[in-house]
Amino acid sequence: MELFIDTAEIEEIKSLNVTGLIDGVTTNPSLIAKSGRNILQTIEEICNEVSGPVIAEVTATDFDNMILEGRKLSSIAQNVAIKVPLTFDGLRACKVFSDDGIMVNVTLCFSSAQALLAAKAGASFISPFIGRLDDIGSNGLNLISEITEIYSIYDFDTKVLAASIRSVQDIIDSAKMGADVATIPPKFLKAMYNHPLTDKGLADFLADWKKTGQTIL
């Protein structure tokens, strides 16, 4: 499973990218606004740091301006993927970008029917929002399972990118359901490697080692 970091904070990305565990970065208008920085400069800096897909979202809602914004964003670097909403115009734009060889992430997916259309439009990534579905009493993980089943039957190349992740368990469950990618807040990556029993075990080993009086170096 690939892990994308969901942030527009360049220093945070740098601090995590040194692990070699980051496969890409997702951004959205809210994250750009939170960073307080210019979107074009921010995306360029992220692309210089990360070799995998860097997903940048259009803010236009009509087809013509989605195309204009998407082309401007994609000109920043070859690893930019354009994010478009799962609307009629968004699907139209997805098909145009896909036909031009530009990676596309179709976002705000809440049904398998939507996901099927995105795949037919040539989306590189589809983003089912599992947390937001859970919020209204639906089962977001079931949606991932349905989408992966459909994509497998018809051999679509579109990757399922689990979004709206609310916990580490969501990441694990999405992986079990066959999601290709999870986009996660930086705090969840840190939570994935932290465990109290790991800390305790390490402390015990070090205490025993200290008693030997030895050093390795």
What residues have CB less than 8 Å from 112, skipping those under 6 apart?
Answer: 143, 146, 147, 150
Catalytic status, residue 211: no
- The closest alpha carbon to 66, from 28, 31, 93, 101, belongs to 93
The C-alpha angle 34, 110, 25, rounded to 5 degrees, equals 40
Give the DSSP letter string of 177-209: TT-SEEEE-HHHHHHHH--HHHHHHHHHHHHHH
Hey, what amino acid is at 85? P
* Alpha carbon distance 217, 56 (integer Å): 47
| Residue 41: φ, ψ to 5° | -65, -40
Determine the Cα–Cα distance for residues 160 and 142; give it in Å rounded to an integer: 13
Question: Mapping DSSP to helix (H, G, I), strand (E, B) and coil, where does residue 8 land?
Answer: coil
φ, ψ dihedrals at 192, nearest 5°: -70, -35
Catalytic residue among 34, 83, 120, 200: 83
Q: How far is CA 81 from CA 64, 111, 128, 132, 189, in A?
A: 18, 22, 17, 23, 22
User: Which residues does the annotation mark as catalytic?
Assistant: 83
